[in-house]
Amino acid sequence: MANLLEHEAIYYLREAVAQLERPALLFSGGKDSIVLAHLCRQAFLHLPCPLLHVDTGHNFPETLEFRDRFVQEFKARLIVARVQDSIDRGTVHEEAGPRPSRNAAQSVTLLEAVAEHRLDGLLGGARRDEEKARAKERFFSHRDQHGQWRPKEQRPEFWNLVNAFHHPHEHFRVFPLSNWTELDIWRYIQRYQIEVPSLYFARPRRVNSQLLADEQGREELVRFRTIGDMTCTGAIRSRARTVEEILHELETTRASERGTRADDQRSQAAMEDRKRLGYF
């Protein structure tokens, strides 16, 4: 039985596709974007827009394999925007230091893809419960010509009315899963028996002391709660090998989902600062 959140997400997906001219669905191969793509198929009976993958070059190999199979099964059109290309173009400089993260660089690559493909809408699986700055997002979040988010000037959203008016070169980030929690995502995955990358399920993996993937590290029984850039996404100790076990784990855990993300830990306003500059 579909629940209210599904109906709500489908409503906003349809608004996005009906009101925007050239939307794309941001696809990372993570659970949220997988769920979003499935909802898209429920809304339109096919995928009405291309998938856009921002490739940091620091992917878990499983994610890429999963992505390619997914694209085939959904008969999707895939656009890949590579951070490496931005580095080669000189629009992005690689971070210095021992574990350079390409997380911040993604924003530049993403905006370059928006311009290149003349996109006016990016559908994303971000949820308000992930992080404090995201808790302030609207369903339709306006970005100016420079791709910037101006949190103080957000358009109000009254009832379910969507104001998607925009000038050329502006775009919207659309978050149909705004009201979902991590638990809702997994309940949906369970309800529709959706396949997700094996990284989400516990098995012995080599990790370092911060539980980041590390071939030199020791073996531990872990799984990933989020899948991002491999250099900054930490695992959690877990025995959950199935969707049901993950649901049980989430219902009893008290740690936050993004607590494993080194990129969010850098400062109080880390996410907000990245979002202002165009991060997803």
Partner 1 sequence: MLRFVTAGSVDDGKSTLIGRLLHDKELIPSDVLQGLTDLAYLTDGLRDEREQKITIDVAYRYFEIQGRKFILADTPGHEQYTRNMLTGASTADLAVILVDARKGVTSQTRRHTLLCSLLGVPQIVLAVNKMDTVEFQQNVFQRIEQDFYDYADRLKIASIVTIPVSALEGDNIVHKSAHMEWYDGPTLLHHLQHVHLGSLLNQVDFRLAVQCVVRPHQDFRGLAGRVLSGRIRPGQQVTLLPAETTTTIRTILGPGGELDEAVAGQSVLLTLQDEREAARGTMVARTANQPERATRLDVNLCWTDARPLQVHTPYWLLHTSRKIRCQVEHVHYQLDVDSLHRQPAQTLELNQIGRVRLVCSEAVFFDPYDRNRETGSLALVDPQSHHTVAAGMIRGAALDPEKDQRIYPYQASIDRVQREQRQGHLACVLWFTGLSGSGKSTLAQELEKLLFAQNCNTFSLDGDNLRHGLNSDLPFSQAARKENVRRAAEVARLAFEHGHIVLASFISPFAEDRQQARQRIEPGRFLEIFLDCPLEECLRRDPKGLYARAQRGEIPEFTGISSPYEKPQNPELHLPLQPLERSLQQLLDLLKIRHILPPS
- Size of the chain, expressed as the number of residues it contains: 280
Write down the residue that tokens 């493909």 correspond to.
117
Map the footprint of partner 1 across residues 151-210, applying CB under 8 A: 151-152, 154-163, 165-167, 178-179, 181, 183, 192
Map the footprint of partner 1 across residues 56-115, applying CB under 8 A: none
Residue 90 tokens, joined? 């000189």
Whether 231 contacts 58, CB under 8 Å: yes
Q: Which is nearer to partner 1, 62 or 170 (CB)?
A: 170
Of positions 84, 245, 256, 266, contacts partner 1 by CB under 8 A: 256
CA distance 80 to 78: 6
Residue 278 tokens, joined? 């165009």
Whether 25 contacts 71, CB under 8 Å: no
DSSP 8-state symbol, 218: E
Q: Which is nearer to partner 1, 83 or 123 (CB)?
A: 123
What x-and-dash track marks residues 110-139 binding partner 1 by CB under 8 A? ------------------xx-xxxxxx-x-
> How are beta strands 171-174 and 140-143 bridged, if at all?
antiparallel
Of 12-20, 49-57, 87-95, 233-241, the segment contacting partner 1 by CB under 8 A is 12-20
Give DSSP secondary structure letters for 18-67.
HH-SSEEEE--SSHHHHHHHHHHHHHHSS--S-EEEEE-S---HHHHHHH
What x-and-dash track marks residues 20-59 binding partner 1 by CB under 8 A? -------------------x--xxxxx-------------
Write down the residue that tokens 């009832």 correspond to.
159
264 binds partner 1 (CB under 8 A): no
Q: Which is nearer to partner 1, 11 or 201 (CB)?
A: 11
Q: Which is nearer to partner 1, 17 or 81 (CB)?
A: 17
Write down the residue that tokens 């420079």 correspond to.
146
CA atoms within 13 A on the CB side of 177: 27
Q: Which is nearer to partner 1, 102 or 134 (CB)?
A: 134
Q: Please, which residues have CB within 8 angstroms of residue 8's CB and are 6 or more apart in sequence?
A: 176, 179
Q: Which is nearer to partner 1, 53 or 138 (CB)?
A: 138
Shortest distance in whole angstroms from residue 179 CB to partner 1:
6
Q: Which is nearer to partner 1, 6 or 55 (CB)?
A: 6
Under DSSP, is residue 175 helix (H, G, I), strand (E, B) or coil? coil
How many residues bind partner 1, per CB under 8 A?
55
Residues that bind partner 1 (CB under 8 A): 1-2, 4, 6-8, 10-11, 14-15, 17-18, 39, 42-46, 128-129, 131-136, 138, 151-152, 154-163, 165-167, 178-179, 181, 183, 192, 254-256, 259, 268-269, 272-273
